[in-house]
């Protein structure tokens, strides 16, 4: 009672809860899942200037509060793939570590609004995976500021690429005269691996590494994370073996994250031994997915049982909350599914200082649900991104 | 109608679903299903309920304390599960060879000639608890063939059959290669052609020309009994004077289904892709007197025609839950949850499943609940509403005395995301047990069926390439 | 009398009799900056305007004109007559290329354009190049190059990317351009652009392309304009903050020009200078006038529309000291119209370029 009195006074003192810039709110929820394991009942969340100012459990809703059955942190899509397609990847070379994904982003695309309204508040954007090593990824908020800089969430730098068949798809050998720079290696899976190994070796052995090679050296040292798309078992193995080979050669210990690791569930021990994290792609309609990989519905549970760090992703089109629900169908608890779309991706991307959980001091990225999250019978009815209302619950 | 499940089940798709003992399924006269909760869809859910099925029909349903279980009944007791009536698929163009013919107007075709009992669709339907399916031809047509209501179990089409000639698929949306104008013309033409033919028949009767009779005999049709009688044309759209002179059996079999359509004896499912198509559909139906027996199958954009549909009294089948439009001026996205529009307008609607193993009819109903449709109405859209549309409202879609003996046992509430179908009882026989479903095993935990290619169940975890490759500095034949 | 008629009827490029002074008297003189002087005399001497006033000049031959006088229109992109000569397709960047060499004054296509009142055009590089070269200001009316190396052309839209030639991505484009700018030596065009001595014109079409272009300009201190930007109304604040103008690509067909109309109105309200292209090759000689008329139909004031085609265009191209307005010291590029110059029903009577009569529609308009 006293708490709510003090709180109401605080709220009143800080001015009305809906000031001009639209980034300050009071929200009341019957339940708040913080993603840290703590659950608050009947809690009031005060948002000010786009940040979570305070969370007070056990109080009644104030008159002008936004009301929800459940509040969780905004979801983070660790592989949103909302780039501008082929203009996001510099294909004149297969290895382009200096390209930044922020140049391949179209903030005016309606896809951002869709993501935000479905509860995804931050998205990791990478260059299209047509190159072996495509460039540096970036974490962007899905709504709010109108410039890329304004939406960027600074995190752990990540260099992105792919292993498998995708990088070799456009290339062909030159019969007679080469007609374009696509007449080049790699044209096969092993060629892709060769490009990777060659770039890493050359960087490690260069007497005067150039700018691109400096990035690769940082990747070898683990200062820059390596975000590799590898759908099938053979490709995941290749990625892990590369890491282990580089370590054996004395070049350093890479921090490896497998993106779209559909078959990661097959060899979890290998992932644990090499300290590799996994981003899971959306569950396919009938089991089979890209590169013939079979993604079992229980794959998230298998990774959890074996202690592999994993996050879920929606690839832009698929609803991330549905993926969390399907992960529950496969055996995760609701808390574990929530972590896999909030705190864990935040940690893997190095942005957990600002996002990923409902805690005072973090950005006000929140989802208001009309029931328990991730059920097919519920959906987000309100979404805040940096305190801006991307989906209005009123 | 009792289905005959007495034949031994052979090693085709259906084996995957049954007990590995592969024994002949016994003729089951009496079954009792006991479940922790029984959802009948006729009233409140029954805790600790019992369903008694005799001769393939439900003879009793109620609380365990109130229902007498026959001493010779096979009892399936699952106190942790939820019993539910089978889902009803209002219309699907799957499980057949190709969905459409190239012929524009072909109502004389019948899907019974095209249904493949081992098609994956039926296996998947059973797995998802969809027990009554109206198989129709696809949407790429003008007037397509006749459909059939089946259950997804049986080795032959006859065993699967629930109701033959259940309706005809007509499309108001242009067939591939046609424009809106030529589609409308073809549709009108089909019925104008019928009308002209019937008028000619009457004229021939008057002239004493027995051409039609000879044609019928030549085509091998009977002209005895009912077929020898003539009846006045019972079409509310137009009429033909003197049609009662013509013995019904003499009507050419290619056109006879159209005659039944306009007399309201053969239901129509009309496909519409845009709101404009709805108008065209209603016009054709009105002109030819079959509005009362027509159901509209709608693409998501057609929600805009809801008012017109309400006025017509037609029910709808929704092929898609969400419609998104970009405002041409502001560029903003306008999203509409389509079933809500029809629900709020009071139009009976049914939902359709997709090919996605994890988003079947239960998922479609759950999304309705998420978007504000009451649970009872959402469940009705996948059970009782389509059952009514198929004229099987007193047989399927609910559990009550007299309905077909279909029960689906879920591991939890059917709309929960973690619930799965554990058992299916069809016409009183236990035809599906999830623990023995090899395909589900593969989907869920990735187990490959034994003996299939690349079965890796015996391999150990790959140790990595710590060792140098063996040998061969003296390789002779390097390319 | 007879001699004057001959002079009045002199064809294109008559250099002989034109250095003597003369004055034009008209009921309306549109200065170009918004002012309209009624019943005014424009005195021309040595190819420049000497004065604009209501007082009759003494000792000068006066040509009475039945209509309005306005500055010649300035189009900030016209490649008519240049064919494909403004795009060097083998290299993505040729920053020192001088586009004035692509100008063919004898091409017959210019006549139609001049007959619609366009006296001065900017000839830029094509949009398929990243740093295509230095645009020239040319006068098809006078048949000469007015200013070489006037504007640095940059292509920052999707057209500048290759599908099987480098760069294929925007990241690659900006990396390449950044390198070009960093490597630019003192006195080279890109260095001059960075120093603010020469304006740039950056082609960018989608909103994200425009946004990136504005960021690039801010990072390198560039002045000038964005070419394209049909959805500029979504980025008004950002464009205003950048200090850049916008050059809209004219569309003759009303249906295609709607985006530009909205954006022009928004920029006018925000007092951001904008201009138009003529692109007569695809839009016909009337393209620019039609685009301006479409904007006026939607509410743009006639004065603002005229400014976009004259004074503001000159300012964006950096030639406002000599062109774009009828004022003392400016070049005598004058067009005599049968009515207000922005009115689509007005016709061109005659065109003067650098004081010479270079076009006359018919003899009726000019009478002694």
Model confidence over A308-323: pLDDT tens digits?
Answer: 999 999 998 879 999 9
C-alpha–C-alpha distance, residues C58 and C55, integer Å: 9
The residue with tokens 């097959």 is A266
DSSP classification of residue A72:
E
Instruction: Determine contact, residues B210/B201, Cβ cutoff 8 Å.
Output: no
Q: What is the pLDDT of residue B359?
A: 87
Query: Residue A91 has what pLDDT?
Result: 92
| Helix/strand/coil for A13 | helix
C51 forms beta bridges with C43
C-alpha separations of C46 from B219, C22, C42, C49 in Å: 102, 10, 13, 8
Residue C121 pLDDT greater than 90, yes or no: yes
Distance separating alpha carbons of residues B350 and B378, to the nearest angstrom? 9
Taking the CB of residue C255, how many other CB atoms lie within 10 A of it? 6
3 state DSSP class of B226: helix
Helices (H) and strands (E) in chain C, counts: 11, 17
- What whole-number distance in Å separates Cα of residue B72 and Cα of residue C150? 101
B133 within 8 A of B119, measured Cβ to Cβ: no
State which CATH number among 3.40.50.10490, 3.20.20.140, 3.40.190.10, 3.10.20.440 fits the domain covering C73-317. 3.20.20.140
B294-298 and B268-272: which strand pairing?
parallel
The answer to whether the Cβ–Cβ distance between A376 and B464 falls below 8 Å is no
Residue A217 confidence (pLDDT) above 80: yes
| CATH 3.20.20.140 segments of chain C | 73-317
Whether residue A299 and residue B355 make contact (CB cut-off 8 A), yes or no, is no
| DSSP β-bridge partners for residue A162 | A229
Report how far residue B202's alpha carbon sits from residue B200's, in angstroms, rounded to the nearest whole number. 5
Phi, psi of B468 (to 5 degrees): -70, 150
Determine the Cα angle at A254 with ends A248 and A260, to 5°: 120
Which residue, among A116, A371, A377, would best test binding to B if mutated, counting the most B CBs under 10 Å from its CB? A377
Could A107 and C208 be called an inter-chain contact, meaning their C-beta atoms sit closer than 8 Å? yes
Do the Cβ atoms of A101 and A138 come closer than 8 Å?
A: yes
CA torsion through residues A172, A178, A180, A181, sign: positive
Contact across the interface for A96 and C211, Cβ inside 8 Å: no
pLDDT at residue A270 is higher than 80: yes
The answer to whether B328 faces chain A, any CB pair under 8 Å, is no
Mind telling me how many Å the CA of B123 is from chain A's nearest CA? 13
Q: Which of helix, strand or coil describes residue B59?
A: strand
Q: Cβ distance A178 to A170 under 8 Å?
A: no
Alpha helical stretches, state H, chain A: 2-13, 110-117, 148-151, 189-205, 211-221, 233-248, 268-273, 299-306, 320-329, 334-341, 343-349
Which of B417, B445, B468 to mutate to test binding with chain A, by most A CBs within 10 Å of its CB?
Answer: B417
Q: How many CB atoms lie within 10 A of CB B6?
A: 11
Q: Which of A90, A127, A172 to mutate to test the interface with C (most CBs of C within 10 A)?
A: A90
Distances (CA, A) of C249 to B286, B362, B424, C256, C275: 52, 53, 66, 11, 9
Tell me whether A81 touches chain B (CB under 8 Å): no
pLDDT tens column, C62-88: 999 889 999 999 999 998 877 777 888
CB-facing half-sphere around the CA of B151: CA atoms within 13 A? 27
For A147-174, how does the pLDDT look when each residue is reduced to its tens digit (9 = 90+)?
Answer: 899 999 999 999 999 999 999 888 888 7
Would an 8 Å CB–CB cutoff place B370 in contact with chain A?
A: yes
What residues of chain B, 402 to 431, have a C-beta less than 8 Å from chain A? 415-418, 420
Contacts of B223 (CB under 8 A, 6+ apart): B213, B216, B217, B247, B249, B250
> Which residue in C140, C279, C258 sits closest to C203, CA to CA?
C279
Q: Closest to A92 (Cβ–Cβ): which among C158, C168, C238?
A: C168
Sequence-distant (≥ 6) Cβ neighbours of residue B150 within 8 angstroms? B95, B115, B122, B132, B133, B135, B157, B160, B161, B162
CA distances to A229, A268, C48, C114 from C31, rounded to whole Å, are: 64, 79, 14, 19
Name which of A25, A70, A75 is nearest A51 in CA terms.
Answer: A25
Kindly indicate the confidence band of residue C367, based on its pLDDT and cuts at 50, 70 and 90: very low
Option in A108, A237, A328 nearest B462 (CB): A237
What is the CATH architecture of C2-71+326-367? Roll (2.30)
Average pLDDT of chain C is 89
Alpha-carbon distances of A85 from A88, A109, C38, C170, C251, rounded to whole Å:
6, 12, 58, 11, 29
> Is the Cβ–Cβ distance between A367 and A383 less than 8 Å?
yes
Virtual torsion, Cα A330, A331, A334, A335, nearest 10 deg: -120
Average pLDDT on A63-77 reads 95
- Residue ranges for chain B with pLDDT beneath 50: 1-26, 455-479
What's the confidence (pLDDT) of residue B447? 82
Give backbone dihedrals phi and psi of B356, rounded to 5 degrees, phi first. Answer: -85, 125
**What's the rounded Cα separation, in Å, for the pair C199 and C34?**
24
Helix (DSSP H) and strand (DSSP E) numbers for chain A: 11, 17
H/E element, C44? strand C36-45
Give the Cα separation of B169 and B179 in Å (integer).
19
A244 vs B contacts (CB less than 8 Å): 464
Q: Where in chain C is the domain with CATH 2.30.40.10?
A: 2-71+326-367
Chain A residues with CB under 8 Å of C165 CB are 92, 180-181
From A208, A276, A285, select the one nearest A237 (Cα to Cα). Answer: A276
Query: What's the mean pLDDT in C323-340?
Result: 94
pLDDT of residue B28: 64
Nearest CA-CA distance, residue B352 and chain A, Å: 16
Using CA atoms, how far apart are residues C348 and C336, in angstroms rounded to an integer?
Answer: 6
CB distance C206–A108 less than 8 Å?
Answer: yes
Kindly determine whether residue C174 and residue A96, on different chains, have CB atoms separated by under 8 Å.
no
Q: Considering the entire predicted model, what is its pTM?
A: 0.86
Backbone angles phi, psi at C264, to 5 degrees: -60, -40
Specify the pLDDT at position C315: 94
Q: Is A53 in CB contact (< 8 Å) with chain B? A: no
User: What ipTM describes this predicted complex?
Assistant: 0.89
- Cβ pair B357:A375 closer than 8 A: no
pLDDT in tens, C218-238: 999 999 999 999 999 999 999
Distance (Å) from the alpha carbon of C264 to chain A's nearest alpha carbon: 20
CA distance A129 to A259: 11
Burial per residue of C194-228, b for 16 or more beta-carbon CB atoms within 10 angstroms, e otherwise? beeebbbbbbbbbbbbbbbbbbbbeeeebbbbbbb
């Amino acid at each position: 009672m006293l708490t709510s009195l003090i709180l109401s006074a605080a709220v009143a003192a800080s001015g009305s809860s809906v000031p001009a810039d639209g980034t300050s709110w009071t929200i009341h929820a019957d339940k708040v899942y913080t993603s840290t394991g703590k659950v608050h009942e009947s809690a009031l969340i005060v948002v000010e200037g786009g940040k979570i100012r305070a969370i007070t459990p056990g109080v009644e809703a104030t008159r002008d509060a936004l009301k929800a059955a459940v509040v969780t942190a905004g979801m983070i899509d660790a592989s949103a793939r909302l780039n501008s397609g082929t203009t996001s990847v510099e294909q004149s070379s297969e290895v382009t570590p200096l390209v930044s994904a922020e140049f391949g982003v179209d903030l005016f695309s309606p896809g951002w609004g869709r993501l935000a309204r479905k509860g995804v508040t931050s998205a990791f954007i990478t260059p299209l995976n047509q190159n072996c090593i495509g460039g540096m990824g970036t974490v962007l908020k899905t709504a709010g500021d109108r410039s890329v800089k304004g939406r960027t969430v600074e995190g752990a730098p990540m260099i992105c690429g792919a292993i498998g068949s995708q990088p070799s798809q456009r290339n062909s050998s030159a019969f007679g005269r080469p007609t374009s720079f696509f007449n080049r290696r790699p044209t096969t899976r092993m060629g892709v691996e060769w490009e990777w190994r060659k770039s890493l070796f050359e960087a490690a052995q260069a007497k005067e590494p150039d700018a691109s090679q400096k990035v690769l050296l940082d990747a070898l040292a683990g200062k820059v994370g390596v975000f590799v798309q590898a759908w099938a078992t053979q490709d995941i193995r290749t990625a892990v073996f590369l890491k282990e080979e580089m370590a054996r050669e004395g070049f350093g210990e890479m921090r490896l994250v497998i993106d779209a690791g559909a078959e990661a569930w097959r060899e979890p021990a290998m992932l644990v031994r090499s300290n590799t994290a996994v981003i899971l792609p959306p569950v396919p309609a009938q089991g089979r997915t890209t590169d013939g990989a079979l993604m079992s519905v229980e794959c998230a549970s298998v990774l959890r049982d074996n202690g592999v760090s994993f996050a879920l992703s929606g690839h832009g089109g698929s609803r991330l909350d549905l993926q969390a629900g399907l992960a529950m169908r496969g055996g995760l608890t609701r808390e574990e599914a929530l972590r896999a779309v909030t705190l864990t991706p935040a940690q893997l991307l190095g942005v957990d200082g600002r996002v990923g959980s409902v805690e005072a001091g973090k950005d006000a990225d929140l989802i208001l649900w009309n029931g328990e999250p991730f059920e097919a019978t519920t959906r987000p009815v309100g979404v805040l991104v940096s305190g801006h209302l991307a989906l209005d619950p009123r | 109608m009792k289905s005959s499940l007495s034949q031994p089940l052979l090693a085709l798709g259906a084996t995957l679903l049954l007990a590995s003992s592969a024994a002949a399924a016994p003729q089951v006269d009496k079954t009792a299903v006991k479940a922790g909760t029984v959802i009948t869809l006729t009233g409140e859910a029954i805790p600790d309920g019992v369903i008694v099925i005799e001769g393939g029909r439900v003879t009793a349903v109620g609380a365990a304390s109130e229902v007498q279980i026959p001493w010779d009944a096979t009892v399936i007791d699952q106190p942790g599960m939820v019993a539910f009536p089978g889902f009803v698929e209002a219309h699907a163009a799957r499980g057949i060879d190709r969905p459409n013919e190239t012929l524009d107007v072909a109502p004389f075709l019948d899907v019974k000639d095209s249904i493949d009992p081992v098609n994956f669709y039926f296996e998947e339907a059973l797995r998802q608890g969809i027990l009554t399916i109206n198989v129709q031809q696809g949407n790429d047509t003008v007037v397509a063939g006749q459909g059939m209501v089946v259950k997804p179990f049986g080795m032959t089409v006859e065993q699967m059959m629930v109701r033959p000639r259940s309706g005809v698929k007509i499309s108001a949306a242009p067939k591939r290669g046609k424009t809106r104008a030529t589609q409308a013309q073809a549709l009108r033409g089909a019925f104008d052609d019928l009308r002209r033919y019937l008028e000619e028949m009457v004229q021939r009767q008057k002239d004493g020309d027995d051409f039609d009779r000879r044609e019928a005999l030549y085509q091998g049709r009977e002209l005895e009994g009912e077929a020898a009688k003539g009846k006045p044309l019972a079409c509310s759209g137009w009429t033909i004077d003197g049609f009662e002179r013509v013995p019904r059996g003499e009507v050419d079999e290619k056109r006879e289904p159209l005659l039944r359509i306009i007399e309201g004896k053969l239901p129509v499912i009309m496909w519409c892709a845009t709101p404009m198509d709805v108008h065209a559909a209603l016009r054709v139906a009105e002109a030819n007197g079959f509005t009362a027996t027509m159901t509209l199958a709608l693409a998501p954009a057609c929600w805009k025609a809801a008012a017109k549909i309400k006025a017509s009294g037609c029910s709808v089948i929704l092929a898609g839950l969400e419609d998104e439009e970009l405002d041409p001026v502001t560029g903003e996205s306008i999203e509409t949850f389509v079933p809500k529009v029809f629900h709020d307008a009071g139009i009976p609607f049914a939902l359709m499943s997709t090919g996605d193993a994890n988003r079947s009819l239960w998922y479609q109903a759950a999304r309705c609940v998420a978007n504000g449709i009451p649970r009872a109405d959402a469940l009705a859209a996948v059970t009782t509403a389509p059952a009514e549309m198929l004229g099987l409202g007193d047989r399927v879609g609910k559990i009550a005395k007299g309905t077909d003996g279909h029960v689906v046992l879920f591991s939890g509430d059917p709309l929960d995301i973690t619930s799965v179908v554990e058992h299916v009882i069809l016409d009183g026989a236990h035809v599906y047990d999830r623990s023995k479903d090899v395909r589900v095993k593969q989907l869920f935990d990735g187990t490959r069926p034994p003996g299939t290619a690349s079965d890796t169940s015996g391999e150990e975890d790959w140790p990595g390439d710590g060792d140098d490759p063996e040998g061969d500095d003296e390789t002779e034949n390097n390319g | 009398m007879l001699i004057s008629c001959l002079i009045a009827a002199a064809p294109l490029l008559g250099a002989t009799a034109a250095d003597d002074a003369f004055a034009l008297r008209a009921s309306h003189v549109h200065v170009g900056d918004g002012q309209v002087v009624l019943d005014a005399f424009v005195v021309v001497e040595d190819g420049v305007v000497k004065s604009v006033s209501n007082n009759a000049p003494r000792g000068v031959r006066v040509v009475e004109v039945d209509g309005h006088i306005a500055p010649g229109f300035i189009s900030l992109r016209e490649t008519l007559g240049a064919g494909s000569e403004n795009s060097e397709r083998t290299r993505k960047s040729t920053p020192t290329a001088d586009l004035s060499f692509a100008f063919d004054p004898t091409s017959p296509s210019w006549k139609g354009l001049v007959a619609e009142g366009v006296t001065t055009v900017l000839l830029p590089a094509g949009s398929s190049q990243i740093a295509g070269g230095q645009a020239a200001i040319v006068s098809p009316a006078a048949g000469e190059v007015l200013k070489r190396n006037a504007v640095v052309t940059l292509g920052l839209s999707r057209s500048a990317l290759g599908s099987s030639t480098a760069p294929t991505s925007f990241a690659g484009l900006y990396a390449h351009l950044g390198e070009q700018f960093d490597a630019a030596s003192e006195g080279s065009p890109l260095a001059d652009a960075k120093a603010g001595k020469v304006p740039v014109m950056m082609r960018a079409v989608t909103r994200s392309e425009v946004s990136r272009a504005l960021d690039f300009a801010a990072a390198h201190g560039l002045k000038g304009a964005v070419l394209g930007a049909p959805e500029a109304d979504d980025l008004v604040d950002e464009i205003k903050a950048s200090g850049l103008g916008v050059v809209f690509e004219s569309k003759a067909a009303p249906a295609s020009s709607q985006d530009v109309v909205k954006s022009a109105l928004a920029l006018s309200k925000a007092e951001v200078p904008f201009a138009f292209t003529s692109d007569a090759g695809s839009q016909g000689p009337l393209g620019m006038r039609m685009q301006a008329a479409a904007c006026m139909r939607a509410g743009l004031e006639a004065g603002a529309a005229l400014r976009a085609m004259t004074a503001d265009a000159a300012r964006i191209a950096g030639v406002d000291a000599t062109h774009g307005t009828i004022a003392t010291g400016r070049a005598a590029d004058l067009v005599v119209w049968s009515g207000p110059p922005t009115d689509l029903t007005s016709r061109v009577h005659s065109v003067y370029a650098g004081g010479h009569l270079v076009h006359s529609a018919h003899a009726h308009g000019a009478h002694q």
